[in-house]
Amino acid sequence: MELGSSKEPECEAEQRAMLSDRLQVFFKPDPVLLYRPIHNGLHFSNSHQHEALPRLQSARSFATSRHLRASASTGKPFFPNEPARPSVKTSIPGIKNQQATAELEEVFDTRSMNMLANYDASIGNYLSDLDGNVLLD
C-alpha cells in the first residue's frame, strides 16, 4: 500500500499494516541518535569510538491497547474494608475538627491548616477526619 493510496482498509490486519507503513515513512531512525560515545572510566575518551544503541521500535502494536484499557479498571478495592465512595457527613471543618484546632491554636499556628486527619479510620486513598467525613485523597 502506498502512502497516498485512497483505498480503504477492509479488515483490522490491513489497517494495522497500513498504519505501520505510514509510521515507517514518518519515523525514520536518525543515525546520529543510534550511536553514543564509549566511556573510559569516569571520563569520555577522546577517540571517536562509538557503540551502537539498540534501535527503538518506531511503531507500537495497537492490538494490545484495547486489552490494556479493558483490564485497567477491575472494580475491586486494593484494601479490605475500603469505602466504595467518599462520604461527607458534616461541614468541613466539622465541630470536632474545630474544637481540636482551637486546642492546637494555643501552641501552634493553625492558620494554614484545613483539617485534622484521623489516620486510624483512614483506609487506602480515603482520608477520614475527626467528624467521620471520608474524603478521597
Q: Is residue 18 part of a domain?
A: yes
Signed CA dihedral, 48, 51, 56, 58: sign only = positive
Helix (H) or strand (E) holding 50: strand 50-52
Length of the chain: 137
Beta strand 35-37 pairing with 50-52: antiparallel
pLDDT attached to residue 51: 53
CA–CA separation, 129 and 42 (whole Å): 53
pLDDT attached to residue 60: 56
pLDDT attached to residue 44: 47
Q: Any idea which residue has 543510534 for its cell?
A: 34
- For residues 28 and 62, membership in a common domain is answered with yes
- The domain total for the chain is 2
pLDDT attached to residue 15: 79
pLDDT attached to residue 49: 52
Provide the grid cell at 90.
458534616
- For residues 22 and 58, membership in a common domain is answered with yes
pLDDT attached to residue 43: 46
Note down pLDDT in tens along the chain; length 137 residues: 455 555 665 778 887 777 777 666 555 555 555 555 555 554 444 445 555 555 555 555 555 555 555 555 566 777 888 888 999 999 988 999 999 999 999 998 988 888 899 999 999 889 999 999 999 98
CA–CA separation, 53 and 118 (whole Å): 52
Range(s) of the domain holding residue 107:
95-136
Q: What global pTM score does this model have?
A: 0.43
